[in-house]
């Protein structure tokens, strides 16, 4: 038996107790976003990156950073999206800012007072860059809720005026319209 071992035992026990106490304190201080890092959402909105209705998976990477990916259906067809998010706030409620890319079928219709056939219309497959901000709430039981507003800009793809009664008006007066998109939405889900 070593001569200094009995003197070292209390020091070892003390360090072990401090280490165990620290991990318990860290677990108590960690937010629900860290203890339940993966969330599945049903998302609804107007012009959102995943469309009018979609599904999204969000993964917490650090206390303030998350990534998300999803797919859904917009007014013209399927859409997919990916986004990185920064989150600031308390354990269960966060202010969220995000940026990412989305793409899919797109349709732009100019609001007008006449019959729908006379309103300029564009369609195509495009990609958008997106920026959004909003809030996120996550309960200890995993129930999660997000709300957001955002801005998207078409950066790639092709969408053209539809050959209909308003084609000439579309070509002459609305050549660059529809590239800037404002959207809003909510998402409800469960984190585990």
The pLDDT > 90 percentage for the chain reads 65
pLDDT for position 179: 92
Who has greater pLDDT, 27 or 167? Answer: 167
- Residue 91's closest CA among 36, 38, 138? 138
pLDDT confidence bin for 24, thresholds 50/70/90: very low
Mean pLDDT, rounded, for 170-180:
86
When pLDDT is averaged across residues 132-160 and rounded to a whole number, the result is 96
Q: How far does CA 47 lie from the centroid of its chain? A: 13
What are the sequence ranges of the domains in the chain? 1-30, 33-191
171 pLDDT exceeds 80?
A: yes
Residue 26 pLDDT greater than 70, yes or no? no
Q: Read off the pLDDT band of 114 (50, 70, 90).
A: low
**Alpha carbon distance 158, 126 (integer Å):** 6
The DSSP annotation for 51-110 comes to EEEEEEEEEEEETTEEEEEEEEE-SSSEEEEEEEEEEEESSSEEEEEEEEEEEEEEEEE-
Tell me which CATH code domain 33-191 carries. Answer: 2.40.160.20
Q: Indicate the average pLDDT of the chain.
A: 86
């Amino acid at each position: 038996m070593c001569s200094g071992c009995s003197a070292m035992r209390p020091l070892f026990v003390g360090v072990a107790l401090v280490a165990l106490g620290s991990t318990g304190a860290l677990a108590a201080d960690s937010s629900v976003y860290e203890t339940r890092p993966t969330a599945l959402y049903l998302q609804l909105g107007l012009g959102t990156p995943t469309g009018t209705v979609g599904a999204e998976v969000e993964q917490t990477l650090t206390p303030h950073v998350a990534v998300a990916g999803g797919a859904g259906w917009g007014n013209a067809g399927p859409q997919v999206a990916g986004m990185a998010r920064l989150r600031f706030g308390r354990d269960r409620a966060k202010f969220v800012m995000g940026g990412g890319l989305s793409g899919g079928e797109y349709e732009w219709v100019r609001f007008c007072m006449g019959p729908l056939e006379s309103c300029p219309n564009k369609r195509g497959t495009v990609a958008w860059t997106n920026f959004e901000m909003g809030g996120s709430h996550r309960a200890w039981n995993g129930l999660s809720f997000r709300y957001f507003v955002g801005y998207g800009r078409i950066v790639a793809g092709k969408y053209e005026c539809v050959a209909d009664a308003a084609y000439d008006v579309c070509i002459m007066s609305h050549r660059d319209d529809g590239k800037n998109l404002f959207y809003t939405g909510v998402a409800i889900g469960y984190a585990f």
